[in-house]
Amino acid sequence: MITANIEQTVLRNILTNESYMRKVLPFIKPEYFEGVYQQLFRQVAVFVAKYNKLPTAESFKIELDDNNSLSDEHYRHAVEIIPEIFKNEEIDETWLYNKTEKWCQDRALFNAIMESITVIDGKHQKLTKDSLPDLLQKALAVSFDTNIGHDYLENVLERYAFYHEQEERIPFDVEKFNTITKGGLPNKTLNIALAGTGVGKSLFMCHLAASSLALGKNVLYITMEMSEERIAERIDANLLDIPIDQIENMSQDMFANAVNRLKTKTNGKLIIKEYPTGSANANHMRALLNELKLKKGFVPDIIMIDYLNICASSRMKMGGSINSYAYIKAIAEELRGLAVEFNVPIVSATQTTRTGFSSSDPGLEDTSESFGLPATADLMFALVSNEELEQQGQIMVKQLKNRYNDPNRDKRFLVGIDRSKMRIFDTTCDDRLVDDTPVFDKTAINNADKQKFQDFKF
């Protein structure tokens, strides 16, 4: 007598219940089965892929006879259970579907643990101990995706609810940026600042990191241009409200007390991680995120990457047939994929071209190295400065691409900038003049600092 088990139940319903088969076949892997059931599942998968329908018991037996990969023992066992697995029995499909998903999750976790043991023992041919968090995370993430798309006419109430739900965002402390993004940066997005050398790319990202920390958010700052300590120094200048060149003049006690007071005002954490220029790709960052979660219990709400053009691609190497367009586009796609995977906004920057550096009205065409970057980004804006704006303590922001709002509203606007304290801020100005004038107007503009988060900063 053949005893029923979950493997046999799953296999039998795959062979006899087409509705169930269509739902679960994409999610089940051969390694979830053991012994002869694994061989039989492979045979079913090949047949369905080839003919797009279920086999009959007779056709399945013929295909099995032609399969030379089966051992004699497995073949005899297969022939013995074929009558059982082709019995069409009534069963509650919802229960079966849920039971199958649970079985897949258990098998994936068991296989991951067994593979981890092989890695720990140093017997795995490909993986190292650094891959263990990712291995277990993938196993724990196994689930059946039941969503088969949005029915435009039928799902009207769901769509209406989506329009009115409050999407989680990371807000800015500069109102103009909140206006153009409808309240801040949404999760699963890639946001890019375009600027020339020395204009303020890193300053903008350090300011955003500081303001996000002030809001109680967890911030991961990945730098490939400056050391961890230099980035921290810029953020110190911002949060402690002290010119960056004066920080070294503070006594140890004064500095420690100031940072400790900041610590009492936020629930967030800021981690700064340095990689050598051009060496880190999305896989390194994924491993870092998994390690931070495992060792520190740290899960970021926003990730800053300083900056995109000096990252590496995990999929391709420069040289040969790979040009800068394809390479930078690949990096952008991988980082945006990372944002989706970890459900966070990623903020990075890119350089302007040589002509864009001297232009007072840069466009997407002034993106250095690859036009594929703006094609991938969700939000892209240029930071523009000249002598006149420097004298007034301001910098111009021009929207280049915006998936959150109409980029033609507030196309250009001015914000205040304090380079000594690594800070940007709202400034009172005539928005009409800024928006309607493609280049800089000669009218003097009042430079009033509205200082957000004053109770947090000193």
Mapped onto helix, strand or coil, the DSSP state of residue 380 is strand
In contact, 313 and 323? CB cutoff 8 Å: no
pLDDT at 93: 86
Among the residue ranges 123-137, 198-212, 232-246, the one predicted with the least confidence is 123-137
Stretch 402-418: mean pLDDT = 92
Tell me which architecture the domain covering 6-140 has in CATH. Orthogonal Bundle (1.10)
How many C-beta atoms surround the C-beta of residue 245 within 10 A? 9
What's the CATH fold of domain 169-436? Rossmann fold (3.40.50)
How many C-beta atoms surround the C-beta of residue 248 within 10 A? 8
What percent of the chain shows pLDDT beyond 90? 53
Stretch 81-100: mean pLDDT = 88
* pLDDT above 90 (res 32): yes
Query: What pLDDT band is residue 284 in, cutting at 50, 70 and 90?
Result: very high
pLDDT tens, position by position, 96-139 = 999 999 999 999 999 999 999 998 988 888 888 878 887 887 88
pLDDT at 372: 82
In contact, 440 and 389? CB cutoff 8 Å: yes
DSSP 297-364: ----SEEEEE-GGGS--SS--SBTTB-HHHHHHHHHHHHHHHHHHHT-EEEEEEEB-HHHHH-SS--G
In contact, 397 and 381? CB cutoff 8 Å: yes
* pLDDT above 80 (res 29): yes
Q: What is the DSSP letter of 426?
A: -
Query: What pLDDT band is residue 444 in, cutting at 50, 70 and 90?
Result: very low
Interacting residues of 41 by C-beta distance below 8 A, sequence separation 6+: 11, 14, 28, 30, 33
Q: Where in the chain is the domain with CATH 3.40.50.300?
A: 169-436
Q: In whole angstroms, give the CA distance from residue 307 to residue 202.
A: 8
**Is the omega angle on the peptide bond into residue 307 within 30 degrees of 0, that is, cis?**
yes
Query: What pLDDT band is residue 285 in, cutting at 50, 70 and 90?
Result: very high
What percent of the chain shows pLDDT beyond 70? 90
Among the residue ranges 106-110, 140-144, 372-376, 439-443, the one predicted with the least confidence is 439-443
Query: What pLDDT band is residue 320 in, cutting at 50, 70 and 90?
Result: low
Query: What pLDDT band is residue 367 in, cutting at 50, 70 and 90?
Result: confident
pLDDT tens, position by position, 292-317 = 998 899 999 999 998 899 999 988 87
Crossing angle of helices 72-85 and 57-65, in 10° steps, is 170
* pLDDT above 50 (res 436): no
Query: What pLDDT band is residue 71 in, cutting at 50, 70 and 90?
Result: confident
Q: Is the pTM of this model over 0.75?
A: no
How many C-beta atoms surround the C-beta of residue 224 within 10 A? 20
* pLDDT above 60 (res 442): no
